[in-house]
Chain A
Amino acid sequence: MNWFDSWALTLVTFIPIVGMVVMLIIPRKEEYSIKVVALLTTVVTFGVSVAIAARFDYDAGGGLQFDVDKPWIDTISSRYHVGIDGISLPLLLLTTFITVACVIYSWNHFPKPHTPKAFLALILVLETGMVGTFIAQDLILFFVFFEIVLLPMFFMIGVWGGPNRSYASIKFFLFTMFGSAFMLLGFLAIFWQTGTFDIPELSAMAGDGIVGSTQNLIFAGLFLGFAIKVPMFPFHTWLPDAHTEAPTVGSVLLAAVLLKLGTYGFVRIALPVLPDAAIDWAPWLGLLAVIGIIYGALACLAQSDMKRLIAFSSVAHMGFVMLGIATLTDIGINAAVFGMVAHGLITGMLFFLAGSVGERYGTREMSRLGGLLTQTPRLGWILGFLAMASLGLPGLAGFWGEFPAILAAYNPLDALPLETFRSYMVIAAVGTVLAAGYLLWMLQRVAMGKVKPEFEQTDVHDINTAEWIAWSPILLFVLALGVYPDIIFGVTNDAVAQLTATAFGG
């Protein structure tokens, strides 16, 4: 193993922290240098992740690569074990990619109180937490990274957020913390039963050594931790508040990456480590998923604030991801991973747009907006493009998360009740129509029609340079993934097949 292979994952995780330390040394007045350091840090991190992707052996996507396993906390047998397979890699790239876009977008969009140094430092800490979660192969390590993410986001919402920021940030923090506590209990219970925190080792055991009833209890703990993060109905109420109050970049990161920590947890830990419990729980996961799809969509229809609408749409979209996971099949889990990336790009991008619209007009109330296509045609067209992507139009990324999930629900794992899942399939398919409903009504209210009199005289500028640089790669990816979905399916297939074969004896 050469030097890069053994250090790559450690580098990609901790470069942001190093960058943050460098940034902290720079005096607060040197705003430009601070921004450059932040940008360089994220670009280098992204570069390393691209190098990882380039050196990744796609023919062996099922196994761990860039594997590092060193002693860490001996007293509790927790080890610094990191590694990636085909499921982690797309999410790792998504994270480092979106973070760069966020820093670029922040360039001249710092929300009040205008303190770039602290803001950018938080983004970098956040990046370490997010990346770490996707590469951790030890339960305690996973937990630590999972929790590291909380603090920066808490401050981002609490300090740079909207008028109701304190309520939203505390709700976000406590709600997720509540789930995490149960998740940790679950991890410890796993340890008591098996004597290890090592995820690959536990996955290979596929639940051996943990009796069914205990598995179910442990699963309940993990479920709370992950389901709150996803968020699944009925644990979702922190999300709209957090999104509505968070600054634009915070919302983007929240939607694009943070929610995926929950679904990733299901795929990486809950399913392979507790397969018997997963089979017992799957119909309930599926049920909550389809309730989420319909419920999220209906709640969207009742919104008047553009950003809050997009927030609720996450509940619906993550429902498709969870439905895919709940089928416990190759197709379903592949769809779920694709759905995570697609939702990350599309909804992240929608939050960028909502932020930019709000900044230009000083409001995100859809009843006051209108005629975006007239006043800022480019902004309007991109909104239309994303609405189409988000409602799952084939040829754009969103479709490949939704359609295969519906496909998988028709034929779930043999051990699951067929009729139940087929009913879920029909409900999910109905959800696609509701999705078209809320997205196109949003498009109609915001982008079409005439400019409202109150904004007729307002000088609204169209997309600026920083926005173009930050957005165009995202938009390109939404198109590229839609046209050629093998970019992701090609990576995830082997890893998912490996996972289901070990866990459910495929």
Chain B
Amino acid sequence: MLRYAWIIAFIPALSFFLILFFGKRMPKGGSEIGIAALGASFVLSVVAAVQWIDKVESTEGGEGGHALGALGQAFHVAGEAGHTVVEPVLASVSWFTLGGVDIRAGTMIDGLSVMMLFVVSLVSLLVHIYSTSYMEGDRRYTYFFAALSLFSASMLTLVIAGSTLLLLVGWELVGLCSFMLIGHWWEEGANSDAALKAFFTTRTGDIGLIIGIVILFFGAGGTFDIPTINEMAVNGEMSQTVLTTASVALLIGIIGKSGQFPLHTWLPDAMAGPTPVSALIHAATMVVAGVFLGARLYPVFFEGFHIADGGLNAMAVIGGITVIIGAALAFVQNDIKKVLAYSTISQIGYMVMALGVGAWLAAVFHLFTHAFFKADLFLGSGSVSHAVHTFDMRKMGGLRKVMPHTFWTFIISSLALAGFFPLAGFWSKDEIINTAGKADYDFFLVVGLVGAFMTAAYMTRCVWLTFFGEYRGAEHPHESPKAILVPLWILAIGAVFAGFLNATAFDIHKFTEWVEPTSAFPEVIVPEFSVPLAVFSFMVAAAGVAVAGAYYVYGMGPRGLTERNASARAGYTFLENKYYLDHLYTDLVVGSIKGPIARGTYWFNQNVIDGVVNAAGTGTRRVGRFTYDVIDQKIVDGSVNEIAAATDETGGLLRYLQSGRVQRYALILFASVGVLSLALVFAN
């Protein structure tokens, strides 16, 4: 299966076309095709995962020697004598030839892609099942499932891509699907606005991605091949300038796609799409594509940003800022999905920060665990809105009694997100914080802890407002049907147990063993589990819950601070306006380009450039008129005046046509060119 992983992506692609052409005629509107396709992809992903694990374990079991390719040996993690190298499984076909370079389309299967295959196909399958109920009776039910299939195919292509070019293809296609699905209900202007905003913002980031890919193409001597690029980066075969500029460029791509500061503003708006879409695309899979890119081309970033040296680098800083600003905004939202959206921004900030401080494994591990609990939270919020027909938490409350399943899964996932022992988020977040401390990135250790505190606090607020207290709405809430609850529980189970794959406290390192690359990979620091730090970070999370509980539940602490204190009020307004970034982008940047700049350009076009053209025409006409009146009447007969008359803008063409003068005019033009050329020939 590892060599034929393309099939996993191909099945949903096929399903897309089947749903598109036959979906409407199917008894269940095409959803059955999508579910079957994703089911098949999921099973094959599991097969691939098992085979990969098998390969890793068998290589480690003694006969590792043969896997040490000549190249691999040079780059394997130093310092661990006898550490075995498991090469990724590569397969490719010739795609096209460009300027003498054979460009290949291929797959690169290693622990990272296998893990992503598993996550993407699982979440996608669950979202498909969930949507059969959630989207029931939607005006574009069939189309919705077609788009989900296309998305799955693109995302799966992205994660198995063996070349930066194929990765770019997948990257852009998931962007397209995101656009289609955010704007699913495009009758409303707000929804299509959100879809456009998402597309533009990520595409702005894509400028960086494209340029980064181009730089690496030439830096690696004319190839898009990811293993080659990584090997050359690790091996010091690319200049520092190339690596650094490529890293900066690619980071811009990551910022756009993964909702990092300062291009994160599209993600909360993207919540205009149907909730299953938010869970799949804007929580578990597409938005982490940037993190995946960072992990995939890690050697480039590692060398480009001097990550081994500690201190500050752009990647860690961007991630760190995003952790805090995302979490801060989650406090002032009343829309449950927006709380989760800002939470996602903040959590992806953790992953990017982790990459920036050299915690590759922790970043990828957090991506893995986050997919479970965040998808679960989104689907949970969908289940809630299914019952109360709103996302506004001010119209919820007390739902734990009527929606026990939704409540419990939501609680589990919230605790996992907040980093409570021993749930999934605890292990991955702890690993990030721990590595930052060990790798001389102490500042980011603090950022991580502050973020953990804030996460626990805003989730407490969110859970309190939604599930506790008295119901404040006017609907009659009820528990959701099975198609919604089963996916919720499956993900909740994942949110409990996914972390145990790398429960370093119990000396379990399966995730590291299976996922961390062993060939063409830089020397990253893998710290030992630290009990004091783990206890401390757990206490920080608990404190977050306690403080938020005291404030929101028991009404303790300062009240009405924003009314009494000017600076507090200013701060709150600043947050409410999302740091004014939306104003900056929408009104200032986009507004001025769309408005004055575009209109100015067009004015310039019509009045200056075209003015010159028209003036030339009018001038010629005047000259012609003069020639006709003064010279022609006496000397030449009927050639120049035709040009002048024909240039006359005011003359109607039909009049000329009827009199047959256009033909004559054209004839004369041809003739004059002919005469001119003949004259030149003879002159020669």
Residues of A that sit less than 8 Å from B by CB: 75-76, 147, 151, 154-155, 158-159, 165-167, 169-171, 173-175, 177, 180-181, 184-185, 188, 192, 234, 236-238, 295, 298-303, 329-332, 334-335, 371, 373-374, 388, 393-395, 399, 403-404, 406-408, 410-411, 425-426, 429-430, 432-434, 436-437, 440-441, 444, 448-450, 484-486, 489-490, 493, 496-497
Which of B168, B214, B662, B681 interacts with A158 by CB under 8 Å?
B662
**Contact (A166, B653) CB under 8 Å given A151-B666, A429-B211, A432-B203:** yes
How would you classify the secondary structure of chain A's contact residues: helix, strand, loop or mixed? helix
Q: How far is the CB of A74 from chain B (nearest CB, A)?
A: 12
Other 10 A-B pairs with CB < 8 A, given A373-B186, A425-B211, A486-B97: A166-B653, A171-B617, A184-B676, A184-B677, A236-B609, A301-B594, A440-B199, A444-B196, A449-B189, A484-B96
**Contact between A429 and B100 (Cβ–Cβ < 8 Å)?**
no
CA distance A316 to B275 in the complex (A): 38
CA distance A28 to B443 in the complex (A): 85
Residues on B with beta carbons closer than 8 Å to the beta carbon of A432: 203, 206-207, 210
Give the contact stretch, choosing among B288-296, B414-422, B597-605.
B597-605
A158, A180, A432, A433: which has the most chain B beta carbons within 10 Å? A433
Would you list 12 pairs from A and B whose C-beta atoms are within 8 A, ordered by A residue?
A159-B653, A171-B617, A181-B676, A374-B187, A406-B214, A425-B214, A432-B203, A436-B200, A436-B203, A449-B192, A486-B97, A493-B98
Residues on B with beta carbons closer than 8 Å to the beta carbon of A489: 96-98
Closest to A434 in B: B593
CA distance A301 to B603 in the complex (A): 12
A-contact 0/1 string along B289-332, CB 8 Å cutoff = 00000000000000000000000000000000000000000000
**Contact between A170 and B594 (Cβ–Cβ < 8 Å)?**
no
Which of A154, A173, A184, A493 interacts with B99 by CB under 8 Å?
A493
Which of B207, B598, B617 interacts with A429 by CB under 8 Å?
B207
Residues on A with beta carbons closer than 8 Å to the beta carbon of B193: 444
**Contact between A430 and B96 (Cβ–Cβ < 8 Å)?**
no
Residues of B that sit less than 8 Å from A by CB: 94-101, 168-169, 172-173, 176, 179, 183, 186-187, 189, 192-193, 196, 199-200, 203-204, 206-207, 210-211, 214-215, 217-218, 590, 593-594, 597-599, 601-602, 605, 609-610, 613, 617, 646-647, 649, 651-654, 657, 662, 666, 669-670, 673, 676-677, 680-681, 684
**Contact (A331, B98) CB under 8 Å given A298-B601, A302-B601, A441-B196:** yes
**Contact (A188, B680) CB under 8 Å given A237-B610, A486-B96:** yes
Residues on A with beta carbons closer than 8 Å to the beta carbon of B593: 298, 301, 434, 437
Residues on B with beta carbons closer than 8 Å to the beta carbon of A298: 593, 597-598, 601-602
CA distance A329 to B222 in the complex (A): 14
**Contact between A448 and B192 (Cβ–Cβ < 8 Å)?**
yes
Closest to B96 in A: A486
**Contact between B680 and A185 (Cβ–Cβ < 8 Å)?**
yes
**Contact between B200 and A437 (Cβ–Cβ < 8 Å)?**
yes
**Contact between A192 and B684 (Cβ–Cβ < 8 Å)?**
yes
Q: How far is the CB of B539 from chain A (nearest CB, A)?
A: 46
Closest to A294 in B: B601
Which of A166, A303, A373, A393 interacts with B652 by CB under 8 Å?
A166
CA distance A238 to B159 in the complex (A): 47
Residues on A with beta carbons closer than 8 Å to the beta carbon of B617: 171, 174
**Contact between B169 and A159 (Cβ–Cβ < 8 Å)?**
no
**Contact (A393, B601) CB under 8 Å given A151-B666, A185-B680, A449-B189:** no
Q: How far is the CB of B29 from chain A (nearest CB, A)?
A: 16
CA distance A403 to B602 in the complex (A): 27
Which of A171, A430, A449 interacts with B207 by CB under 8 Å?
A430
B605, B669, B676: which has the most chain A beta carbons within 10 Å? B605
CA distance A166 to B95 in the complex (A): 49
Which of B168, B647, B676 interacts with A174 by CB under 8 Å?
B647
**Contact between B172 and A394 (Cβ–Cβ < 8 Å)?**
yes
Closest to A435 in B: B203
B94, B203, B206, B594: which has the most chain A beta carbons within 10 Å? B203
The list of the 4 closest CB pairs from A to B, nearest first, reads: A330-B99, A166-B653, A301-B598, A486-B96
Which of A174, A395, A493 interacts with B100 by CB under 8 Å?
A493
Residues on B with beta carbons closer than 8 Å to the beta carbon of A237: 605, 609-610, 613
CA distance A295 to B330 in the complex (A): 40
Residues on A with beta carbons closer than 8 Å to the beta carbon of B173: 393-395
CA distance A503 to B200 in the complex (A): 41
Residues on A with beta carbons closer than 8 Å to the beta carbon of B594: 301, 437, 441
Q: How far is the CB of B10 from chain A (nearest CB, A)?
A: 12
Closest to B643 in A: A174
Closest to B594 in A: A301
Residues on B with beta carbons closer than 8 Å to the beta carbon of A429: 207, 210-211
**Contact between B192 and A444 (Cβ–Cβ < 8 Å)?**
yes
**Contact (A299, B605) CB under 8 Å given A170-B646, A175-B613:** yes
Q: How far is the CB of B106 from chain A (nearest CB, A)?
A: 15
Residues on A with beta carbons closer than 8 Å to the beta carbon of B196: 440-441, 444
Which of B98, B597, B681 interacts with A404 by CB under 8 Å?
B98
Which of A166, A374, A444 interacts with B651 by CB under 8 Å?
A166
Residues on B with beta carbons closer than 8 Å to the beta carbon of A238: 613
Residues on A with beta carbons closer than 8 Å to the beta carbon of B657: 158-159
Q: How far is the CB of A60 from chain B (nearest CB, A)?
A: 15
Closest to A76 in B: B681
CA distance A304 to B181 in the complex (A): 27
Q: How far is the CB of A194 from chain B (nearest CB, A)?
A: 12
Closest to A113 in B: B654
CA distance A154 to B168 in the complex (A): 43
Closest to B620 in A: A174
CA distance A175 to B214 in the complex (A): 38
CA distance A12 to B654 in the complex (A): 34
CA distance A75 to B217 in the complex (A): 53
**Contact between B218 and A410 (Cβ–Cβ < 8 Å)?**
yes
**Contact between B96 and A158 (Cβ–Cβ < 8 Å)?**
no
Residues on B with beta carbons closer than 8 Å to the beta carbon of A170: 646-647, 649, 653
**Contact between B681 and A188 (Cβ–Cβ < 8 Å)?**
yes
